[in-house]
């Protein structure tokens, strides 16, 4: 086998694997009716979709997800349900933990108070993104 034959064989194998991977992704997207987010593999996406299902998220609407491996918060919520998600989290884990966690975060403390007691309706999405939540895109 010449060097040219070897290089051609390697390139062909690489292209074959890429085509199979592209087909697998297309099949997955077709089955789930959603696009696989950039820089996410199918296994991760399956986990986040299962989490979305567990949290009763409508994946046809804009939604956010997070893994407990990367944040104290975990779960998923629809964009229009962010405040409800956060209130449920506080009900489950207690206000003491939220305040302790918030005190150690870089999020402005005055704005944290505004989330729950203010009249301005602070953007809870901004807060949740700073806690590591990402929008499914």
**Any idea which residue has 């956010």 for tokens?**
64
Better-scored residue on pLDDT, 47 or 106: 47
Domain ranges of the chain: 1-33, 39-135
Better-scored residue on pLDDT, 122 or 54: 54
pLDDT at position 78 over 80: yes
Residue-wise pLDDT for 26-68, tens only, equals 888 888 888 888 888 889 898 889 989 999 999 989 999 887 6
Q: Is the pTM of this model over 0.75?
A: no
Under 8 Å between Cβ of 82 and 128: yes
Better-scored residue on pLDDT, 94 or 136: 136
Residue-wise pLDDT for 86-100, tens only, equals 888 888 877 777 766
Taking the C-alpha atoms of residue 28 and residue 31, their distance in angstroms, rounded to an integer, is 5
């Amino acid at each position: 086998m010449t060097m040219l034959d070897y290089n051609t064989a390697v390139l062909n194998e690489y292209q074959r694997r890429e085509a199979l991977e592209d087909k697998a992704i297309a099949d997955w997207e077709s089955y789930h009716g959603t696009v696989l987010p950039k820089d996410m593999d199918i296994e991760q996406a399956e986990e986040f979709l299962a989490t979305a299902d567990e949290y009763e998220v409508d994946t046809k609407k804009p939604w956010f997800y997070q893994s407990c491996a990367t944040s104290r918060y975990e779960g998923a919520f629809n964009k229009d349900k962010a405040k409800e998600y956060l209130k449920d989290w506080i009900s489950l884990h207690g206000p003491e933990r939220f305040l302790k966690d918030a005190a150690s975060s870089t999020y402005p403390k005055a704005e944290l108070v505004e989330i729950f007691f203010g009249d301005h309706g602070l953007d809870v999405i901004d807060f949740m993104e700073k806690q590591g939540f990402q929008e499914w895109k």
